[in-house]
Structure 1
Amino acid sequence: MTDILSTTPGLFPLPDWAKDELSDLKGHQKSDLVSGEENEEILDAYDRTREELVSRQVEAGLDRVVEGQARWDDMLAHPLAVHDAVETRGIVRYYDNNNFYREPVVTGELGFDGDTAADLEAAAALTDAPLQATLPGPYSLFDLATDEHYGDEAEFLAGLAEFLAGEVEALPDHETLFLCEPSLVETPPGEDLDELASEAVDTVAAATDAEVVVHSYWGAIPEKPYAHLMDADVDAVGFDFVADHERNLYNIQEYGTKDAIALGVVDGQNTLVEEPSTIRERIEWVQEQVPAQSFETVYATANTELFYLPTNRAGAKLDALAEAAELEEVEA
């Protein structure tokens, strides 16, 4: 029997009170805030925000609870943006949307930082619910960053993977690790990097005993990088069935997938809140299309990060995901 677990890729929107308070404390808008240089008042605001985000997930009844990543002003680039060996420079468009991040330029060896572990430890102190860690995948971090130290693409990608592996090793106990890899879709690796991208994922996944999900979104991974990703020793690959159900289904049918799967069946960028029965129907539709494969676990998730949404809509989608996971099978 398949376990259906409700979860998200994290990166939640800031509550309105936190936006206002942090803007006042830092003196300018959130898109320009300097991550990692927080005084006690700012840290207190983030602590209260984290408590609210964790509490809301527990209230919804999600099967996996994330820290919320409220401090990630630079979105997936955050783990580098706060690192001592990285300079943040000009403002760069975050993929193809109206969000922006500060370009992280790696100027030295990427040693251990511990920023993500500290945040997850703070979340662990707030709940007994099963925790899920969220990190950028190594290839997406490679795509978002600029190298002024390693001098070679393969070495840079390997250095980022080792850095992320060190961060993962320091995490408190967690049930699941989501590695967000939208760049596999948006800027897929070419001939020289597609196999190396899979090896980099392996390096990070080997650093935890938790279930590891490589979640891609904003479309489908091209065939060759996907085939290489299937060689990675991870527990599940995530598919965006909101943005492109046909090509994602083709990848699964043509190349197979892991014994577990993550399905992006809730739109993380649209304020329309899906009915739980609709979400469950989408999950069952995917299962029906691949009758030869019986999944041990289905992670039912939003297709993208949730910071695009108003907080009330994001919360409503959490409720819908949790309820969908608990529904009996939808009758045809």
Structure 2
Amino acid sequence: MTELVATTPGLFPLPDWAKEQLSDLKGHQKSDLISGDEGADITAAYEKGRAEVIDRQQQAGLDRVVEGQLRWDDMLAHPLAVHDAVETRGIVRYYDNNNFYREPVITEDLGFSGDVAEELEAAAELTDDLQAVLPGPYSLADLATDEYYGDELIEGIAEFLEGEVEAFPDVETLFLLEPSLVTNAPGEGVDERASEAIDRVAGATDADVVVHTYFGAIPEKPYAHLMDADIDAVGFDFVTDHETNLYNIQEYGTKDAVALGVVDGQNTLVEEPETIRERIDWVQENVPAQSFDTVYATSNTELFYLPVNKSNAKLDALANAVSLTEAEQ
């Protein structure tokens, strides 16, 4: 019997009140923010926002609850952007869209930070169904500029992330977000190193680890290497490219669990629960040789692209899709 789990890749949009309040506060505390320190008022605003987004996920009935990553102004680059060994410089386009992040330039060894662990410790006080979210080592290396590690950049970032994960509180699931495996797929040799780096980070936790990919489909060779990593599930973007993702599963198989990006994280059109469930069933029907222990039903991308009301509506739709009985489909 397949377990259906409703979840998201995190990175929620800031509530409107928080955008206004934080914009004003940050405007008055620029020197603190540049040094990585946040004042008490900013910290309090993020704490309020965290509690709000966790409560909203619980209201929707999601099976896994994320911290929300409201502090991640630099999106997946955040763990580097707040690190003491990293200089943030100019503004860089975030993948192929109209979002931007500060360029993180690694100038020294990436020692332990604990930034994400602190967020998760606070979230763990509010839910027993906690899911951690972290950039995968290949995507983080892709987003960074390196002035320290040289040819060992991926390995250096994997070591850094391994230490961060080891400090996490108990979580049910870890979503490692790896869109760069699609958008800037690793070539010969690098694909194997990327898989080994992912394996190293995944080995730092006892939680179920999902490597979630999106903005399309992973090319065949990097996908085959990814399957060598000791992870619990690969996530597939069935919104952007369902045919190639289905081909990868049919041709190369996948893990006993799978994450299906079946809700569009970049489109304000809210899918009906029945439509979402049909997409989940379609995948399972088209890979009859593969029987999944767990299917994580999720949005294909992070949700920060959406207005808050649309993001919340998609949370409801995901949870309702998973809870549909056969009679209701």
Instruction: Give TM-score scaled by structure 2 length.
Output: 0.97
Write the distance in 1 (CA, Å) between the matches of 2:74 and 2:272. Answer: 31
> For residues 110 and 25 of structure 1, what CA distance do their matches in structure 2 show?
29
Conserved 8 A contact 1:138-1:157: yes
| RMSD of aligned alpha carbons | 1.4
Work out the CA distance in 1 between the residues paired with 2:35 and 2:67: 16
- Supply the AA of the counterpart residue of 1:80: L
Q: 1:37: how far off? A: 2.4
Alpha-carbon distance change, 100 to 330 in structure 1, aligned in 2, over 3 angstroms: farther
Q: How does 1:204-283 map to 2 (within 5 A)?
A: 204-283=201-280
1:132 aligned residue: 131
What is the CA–CA distance in structure 1 between the aligned matches of 2:253 and 2:285, rounded to whole Å?
14
Contact 1:280 1:324 in 2 (8 A): yes
For the residue of structure 1 that corresponds to 2:66, the secondary structure is coil
- Looking at structure 2, the residues matched to 209 and 110 of structure 1 have their Cα atoms a distance apart, in angstroms, of 23
1:119 aligned partner: 119
Give the corresponding residue for 1:317.
314
For residue 151 of structure 1, report the CA deviation from its aligned partner. Answer: 1.9
Letter in 2 for 1:50: R
1:251-290 alpha-carbon deviations (Å, 9 max, x no partner): 0000000000000000000001000011000000000000
Q: Tell me the distance in 1 between the aligned counterparts of 2:172 and 2:48.
A: 24
1:46 aligns with 2:46: yes
Per-residue deviation, residues 229-249 of structure 1 (Å, max 9, x unmatched) = 000000000000000000000
User: How many angstroms does 1:250 deviate by?
Assistant: 0.5
**Cα distance per residue 1:273-326 (max 9 Å; x no partner):** 000011000000000000011000000000000000000000000001011111
- 1:1-332 aligned at under 5 Å gives the runs 1-27=1-27, 36-128=36-128, 130-152=129-151, 155-329=152-326
Q: Deviations over 1:51-79 (max 9, x none)?
A: 10101001101000000000000000000
SS of equivalent to 1:202: helix
- The one-letter code of the counterpart of 1:143 is D
Question: Which amino acid in structure 2 is aligned with residue 147 of structure 1?
Answer: D
For 2:23, give the aligned amino acid.
S
Aligned residue for 2:8, secondary structure, equals coil
Q: CA deviation at 1:330?
A: 6.8
Q: 1:284, 1:134 → 2: CA distance?
A: 26
Distance in 2 between residues matched to 1:214 and 1:330, nearest whole Å? 33
Distance 2:326 2:20 in 1: 43
Aligned amino acid, residue 25 of structure 2: L
Distance 1:34 1:219, change over 3 A: farther
TM norm structure 1: 0.96
Deviations 1:133-172 (A, max 9, x none): 00000000010001101121xx110010010011100000
How far the C-alpha of 1:35 sits from its partner, in A, is 8.6
The answer for unaligned runs of 5 or more in structure 1 is none
For structure 2, the 5+ residue unaligned runs are none
Provide the C-alpha distance between the structure 2 equivalents of 1:241 and 1:183, rounded to a whole number of angstroms.
Answer: 16
- Aligned partners of 2:46, 2:34: CA distance in 1, in Å? 13
Q: Counterpart of 1:301 in structure 2: which amino acid?
A: T
Cα distance change, pair 35–243 in 1 and its aligned pair in 2 (3 A): farther
Letter in 1 for 2:131: Q
Query: What amino acid maps onto 2:87 in structure 1?
Result: E
Question: Aligned letter for 2:14?
Answer: L
Identity of aligned residues (%): 77
Partners of 1:111 and 1:179 lie apart in 2 by 20
User: In the alignment, is the contact (CA less than 8 A) between 1:239 and 1:263 conserved in 2?
Assistant: yes
CA drift of 1:34 comes to 5.1
- Paired residues in the alignment total 326
